[in-house]
Amino acid sequence: MKSLLKLALLLLCLKLTTFIQAQVAIAPTSIFLDKNSGVGNLFVSNRSEKSQEISITFAFGYPSSDEEGNLVMNYTDSVAFQQCALDPYIRAFPRTFVLAPNKQQTVRLQVKSATKLKDGFYFTRVKVLSTEQSADVNAKPVEGLSTSLIYKFEQVTAAYYKRGTLKTGLKIEKVDVEQKDGKIIAKPHLDRQGTAPFLGSIVGKILDNSGKVISEFESTTTVYFKTIRRAEFDIAHVAPGNYKLELTFKTKRSDIAKEDLVQAEPIVSTTNFTIK
């Protein structure tokens, strides 16, 4: 009996994995609404063999962190909502629809009365919920025992709207450096400067006394308000001694066009530390 149960669970997991891979896809990963018209497009594609019921909603939130620098989404910042939320102004057309197999739908996002908004950087999260279309209620039931599972999948992307002349930057308050399990873990404590979030990349290097790079780290990063970021460096084969950690923050990303990013000069931090 236990063997049959394990087999059933395995088959369910395999089916679920296949279903997830064949689900709805959304693009782009970040939507920058036109600064004049306040209009942008979200593309929703149904890669499955069954029709999908799609609904679009908005939720104000932004990436923050815990004390260890791990990514945590903050959806409860009421002060930031009053200052930066796009939610009261943005609309989706259509908001709900049925998407046939192997078809794509363009969802038009538009900011209501965009030209009347004060200068600033506004943002929200666009949530796309997909559910396999319900069966015909007039269909005849099949005799015998059966089970029906309904899968609902939610995907999230960011929407941004910029007005006026904006600035961004970072203040690096301190950098904690920890050696653990063959790694150096760097945790820069950051405070965003200016009038817009810092959207960009972090490049980290560990250098020896001769200036040679012995370990590197690179990742996209965002800093909306005060936060901690985390960078891990492999030092499993690095000899004990004194080293320098160099962290560089740039307003540059491969997944976002340069003209969409609020630009800033690179910010560089160096920290001396010892590998034991």
Nearest to 187 by CA among 215, 212, 221, 214: 221
Residue 16 counted as domain residue: no
The pLDDT value recorded for residue 136 is 54
- Final residue before a domain boundary, out of 143, 163, 183: 163
Greatest C-alpha distance within the chain: 78
269: enclosing H helix or E strand: strand 267-275
Residues 77-94 as b or e (16 or more Cβ within 10 Å = b): beebeeebbbbebbebee
86 part of a folded domain = yes
Would residue 85 count as lying in a domain? yes
pTM of the complete model? 0.84
Q: Residue 30 belongs to what domain range?
A: 23-134+151-163
Residue 212, phi then psi, degrees to nearest 5: -75, 135
Pairwise CA distance, residues 224 & 125, whole Å = 14
* Overall domain count for the chain: 2
The answer to whether 28 touches 156, Cβ cutoff 8 Å, is: no
The closest alpha carbon to 251, from 184, 206, 213, 194, belongs to 194
Asked if residue 32 lies in contact with residue 260, where contact means CB atoms within 8 angstroms, the answer is: yes
Structure tokens at 257: 């066009």
Kind and range of the H or E element at 3?
A: helix 2-21
The segments of the chain whose pLDDT lies below 70 read 1-22, 135-150
CATH number at residue 252: 2.60.40.2360
Instruction: Specify the CATH number for the domain of residue 79.
Output: 2.60.40.10
Could you report the per-residue pLDDT of 195-248, keeping only the tens digit for each? 999 999 999 999 999 999 999 999 999 999 999 999 999 999 999 999 999 999
128, 71: one domain: yes
Using alpha carbons, list the distances in angstroms from residue 252 to 164, 193, 199, 222. 21, 17, 8, 11
Statement to judge: residues 31 and 159 lie in one domain = yes
What is the rounded average pLDDT for all residues in the chain?
89
The string of pLDDT tens digits covering residues 2-29 is 454 444 444 344 344 344 444 899 999 9
